[in-house]
Amino acid sequence: MDWKIGKYDAKLAADLGSYLGVSPILASLLLERGFSDPIRAEMFLKPKLTNLGDPFRVKNLRRAALRLIEAISKNQKVLVFGDYDVDGITSTTLFVNAMRHFDCNPSYFVPRRMDEGYGLSEAALERAFADEKPDLLVALDCGTNAMEAIHYIRSQGIDLIVVDHHQSKDNPAEEDYILVNPHVFDLSTAPWRNLCTVGLVFKLVHALVKEMRLRDDPRSWTLDLKESLDLVSLGTIADLVPLVDENRILARYGIKRLKSTKRKGIQALIQASGISLGDEITPVDISFRLGPRINASGRLADASLPLDMLLGDDFTTCFRAACELNDINKERQEIERGVFESAMKKISDCNLADDPCIIVFDTTWHPGVVGIIAGKLSREFNRPVIVFGETDEGYTKGSGRSIAGLDLVECLSHCTEFLGSWGGHPMAVGVSVKEDKMAEFKAKLNSVIRKRLEEGVSFEPELHVSLELAHEDICFELLDELEILHPFGEGNKEPIFAIREVVLEKPVEVFGGGQNFKFQLPLNNGTWISAVAWRMGRNLPPVNTKIDFAMHLSWNRWNKRKTPQATIVDWRVSSDARF
């Protein structure tokens, strides 16, 4: 792996650090993130809820808030239609709770992925309207590209609000419905541009509260928006949106709120995930423990289970649901392992030299896990991957994942003659291809991606190292400073540091069935730091040899204690040359 070491102006880092009262190391990490301006750097380091923008600056948010007020005042029937992933479930929970506070009791609905597909599908709407048609339908985390469904909803005399953050394939003709989607209407520089849906719902509820206060509604003064930040952090971090600007503010405060959440459903989920109530919650916990349990139900069963859990107020009932989610998640993991092994065998038969995009499919693969498999394969081979797992009414359906610098939505836009429904984000897409056009689709998509390679996109794996540290730089004070940068995630990656010429005097200790290893990383000042390397058991560093390590540095919190830890990302034998 090619290491790319960041280089920053030492004087500028020193001056910025002096202004902010932080070390030149932390100042260099701020420069890496593009914060050369001291004011912006300080706002990044010290995010405040008061720095959130006026919700009415988001296009169409005032219209949406006014329509909700009409529904509340007229006691209209409101149906909330949410997506089945973490963002959709948390968005629906936040919205339903807010409307209940204003004595509106909306019904809520989540499509069944296996039977009804994604979003505002005909099958899902049929079931949603089976009992009675609402006066107002609020679609959350879906709907931007569902023009046929939108026309059907409006033809039924149902008003519609769509709150979504998915990219638009076309310019939606917003005629007689309300669309809130910053990717469609708002400036690319707007600090709310990259909010996921739960962040947009938070702003919508904020707007609703402001409007109700103008009307002297006493209920508006008793709704504490801060209490919904636990939901916002769950959806924001799980949906992999950039943790900068308003996302950073919401995620930072939301993670703190998770630690002391009053929400019975989240308390149950935390405990069922093996985390003690009151413990620190990290983005890693959300990404690999809490989020997957919510997602698993939508992938394999019915996403109404986690939604009912998050809306519940009885801990025993909520904990029972959380335990059921545990079981579903274990089932998902077993299915995923089988599909991954099968997909790897198919890839061995592919011509990766000719086709830059890996496309594999098998109608026996569970459609609920193909997105996860695409992500794993993309990381494994460092290239875009689309995995197809089912056929339906003449189309083969699947999910795709991309790599940094390659917009998969843009690439698919050149292949529309072969596609049915499709859409998503630059890094993640859902797509259906005509069964008899798969070969033509593969050829066209690979042709488009080859052109992107010629334009500078690279498949060569690179390791972006933030800084090279001297041994003496590694100290408790540095670990404390690094925590100021939290939460890490998309757009705010955890920094990777390089340290040179480390000599191990005894072999590393392999554990986890040979998958991982750990050791004591010696420093020049006679001290050491515990180090662990995950999934690197087949590549062990030698003893009595000068080695360069690339690693994360952090506090490891366990059992109410914290100890310094290095997490190894890569290593190589040192050379006389600098990196």
Average pLDDT, stretch 336-344?
94
In this structure, CATH architecture of domain 2-6+462-573 = Beta Barrel (2.40)
Check residues 115 and 38 and name the one with the higher pLDDT: 38
- CATH classification code of 350-454: 3.10.310.30
Cα distance between residue 107 and residue 20, in whole Å: 49
The per-residue pLDDT for range 437-476, each reduced to its tens digit, is 999 999 999 999 999 988 888 787 789 999 999 999 999 9
Q: Tell me which DSSP letter residue 383 carries.
A: S
Q: What is the pLDDT of residue 516?
A: 96
The total number of residues written for the chain in this structure: 579
Token pair for 250: 């919401």
Domain 51-223 - what CATH class?
alpha beta
Q: Are strands 467-469 and 497-503 parallel, antiparallel or unpaired?
A: parallel
User: Nearest-5° angle of CA 508, CA 509, CA 510?
Assistant: 115
For 173, other C-beta atoms within 10 Å of its C-beta total 10
Q: Are 201 and 91 in contact (CB under 8 A)?
A: yes
Q: Structural domain boundaries of the chain?
A: 2-6+462-573, 51-223, 350-454
Q: How confident is the model at residue 514 (pLDDT cuts 50, 70, 90)?
A: very high
Whether 221 shows a pLDDT value over 50: the answer reads yes
Measured CA to CA, the distance from residue 495 to residue 474 in angstroms comes to: 14
Name the band, by pLDDT with cuts 50, 70 and 90, for residue 353: confident
- What is the pLDDT at residue 276? 87
Tell me the β-bridge partners of 468: 498
Query: 173: pLDDT confidence band, cut at 50, 70 and 90?
Result: low
Q: Is the dihedral of CA 541, 543, 548, 551 positive or negative?
A: positive
Two structure tokens written together for 104 = 């509106």
Give the model confidence (pLDDT) of 284-311 as tens digits.
899 999 999 999 998 887 889 999 999 9
Instruction: Kindly give, in sequence order, each residue whose CB lies less than 8 Å from that of residue 200, ignoring residues fewer than 6 positions away.
Output: 58, 91, 163, 164, 165, 180, 181, 182, 192
Give pLDDT, residue 576.
Answer: 53
Sequence-ordered alpha helix ranges (H) in 102-167: 113-116, 122-128, 147-155
Q: Which of 366, 424, 363 is nearest to 396 (CA)?
A: 363
Non-local (6+) Cβ contacts of 48 within 8 A are 249
pLDDT in tens, 562-573: 899 999 999 999
* Tokens 């600007």 belong to residue: 245
**Contact (CB, 8 A) for 532 and 565:** yes
The predicted pLDDT at position 174 comes to 67
User: Phi/psi zone of residue 382: left (φ > 0), alpha (ψ -120 to 50 degrees), beta?
Assistant: left
Confidence of residue 357 (pLDDT cuts 50, 70, 90): very high
Position 578 scores a pLDDT of 44
**What pLDDT digit, counting tens, does each position of 71-111 carry?**
999 999 999 999 999 999 999 999 999 999 999 999 999 99
- C-alpha 522/C-alpha 202 separation (Å) is 47
The pLDDT value recorded for residue 131 is: 86
CA 12, 17, 23, 26 torsion: positive or negative?
A: negative
Answer whether 336's CB lies under 8 Å from 365's CB. Answer: no
Helix (H) or strand (E) holding 497: strand 497-503
Kindly state the average pLDDT of the residues 38-54: 95
180: pLDDT strictly greater than 50: yes
pLDDT over threshold 80, residue 172: no
567: which 2 tokens? Answer: 């997490």
- Mean pLDDT score across all residues of the chain: 92
Distance, C-alpha 172 to centroid of its chain: 25
354 close to 331: Cβ distance less than 8 angstroms: no
Burial class of residue 291 (count of CB atoms within 10 Å of its CB; 0-12, 13-18, 19+) = buried
- The answer to whether the beta carbons of residues 2 and 460 sit under 8 Å apart is yes
- Are the C-beta atoms of 433 and 396 separated by less than 8 Å? yes
- Choice among 117-126, 251-260, 570-579 with the minimum mean pLDDT: 570-579
| pLDDT per residue as tens digits for the range 235-257 | 999 998 999 999 999 999 999 99
Q: Please compute Rg for the chain using Cα positions.
A: 25
- Hey, what are 246's tokens? 């308003």
